[in-house]
Amino acid sequence: MFEEINDFETGFKKLLDDVLEFDIQNPLKDVKKVLCIEPHPDDCAIGMGGTIKRLTERGVKVIYLCMTDGYMGTTDETITGHELAQIRRKEEEESAKILGVKKIYWLNYRDTELPYTREVRKDIVRIIRKEKPDGVFLPDPWLPYEAHPDHRTTGFLALDAVAFSSLPNFSNIDLDMGLKPHLVSFVALYYTHKPNYFVDITDLMDLKLKAIRVHRSQFPEDIWEIWEPFLRTVALYYGQKAGVKYAEGFRIMPGLFYHITPFAELI
């Protein structure tokens, strides 16, 4: 029987520590497998490349799920979208190897046109049920001023899928395929303006940049001259908050907190 609690702070701490057994100070401590969902074939490396390397170095299995084909990601008028999609797939595979990632799922929706539909949710749910990750990383769909619809849509779709992956009557055809419902323990939002957890990547910053630069179609010399200082500035921003030089920031929440929770921002 849950004892009566008369003040919010005590109840909040007890909920996290005793009921949910969620350690916000070290939420990735016991993970064995995580799914990193990205809108395009470079977002995992850009958003959390250092963290991915940290995880794979200690034996955590990191799996990518890329939502779109990268068809639109060029200013080069001499290359077709079809050619670019093939190039970006190879670049992603090379970049993933640098970070220790061995498995990538591709949903191949058209870049800039990712639909927010039940069918796409079912695609993500099926992969969650197949892989059974402890946690799911996704772009924060509430990032202020985010202009790219694929980023916003990916974030909302991923949250939907995490919420529904444990429900047997959602896409119950999965049951016929032998894929059982799966409850994800936590979500971690990258590209976030409200981080509550940081990973020190000071010693991995150069490796992260190397993994990003592998996406040569996205970062030719003239563009890289702008993007390298931008990427370093983002890492310095999170690092300043974390008290280190370079960091990656995440908004991490236990499963209960991403539905009807008025105090989710307090975690």
Q: What is the mean pLDDT of residues 50-69?
A: 98
Instruction: Give the strand order in the sheet containing 186-190.
Output: 103-109, 61-68, 33-38, 135-139, 186-190, 247-254, 197-200
**pLDDT above 90 (res 6):** no
- What are 216-241's pLDDT values in tens digits? 999 999 999 999 999 999 999 999 99
**pLDDT above 60 (res 18):** yes
**What percent of the chain lies above the pLDDT cut of 90?**
87
Out of 30-39, 113-122, 173-182, 204-213, pick the least confident: 173-182
pLDDT of residue 2: 56
Question: Which DSSP category does 205 fall into?
Answer: H
- What are 159-195's pLDDT values in tens digits? 999 999 999 999 888 888 899 999 999 999 999 999 9
Confidence of residue 59 (pLDDT cuts 50, 70, 90): very high
Q: Contact at 8 Å (CB) between 124 and 170? A: no
Q: What is the mean pLDDT of residues 191-211?
A: 98
pLDDT of residue 4: 76
Confidence of residue 1 (pLDDT cuts 50, 70, 90): very low
Q: Contact at 8 Å (CB) between 60 and 34? A: yes
Q: Contact at 8 Å (CB) between 42 and 84? A: no
pLDDT of residue 114: 97
SS3 state of residue 76: coil
Q: How far apart are CA 93 and CA 46, in angstroms?
A: 14
C-alpha distances in Å from residue 211, one per residue of 70, 96, 124, 256: 17, 7, 25, 34
Using the structure block, give the residue that is written with the tokens 């057994």.
21
Find all residues with CB under 8 Å of 162, minimum gap 6, and list them.
Answer: 128, 136, 184, 187, 255, 258
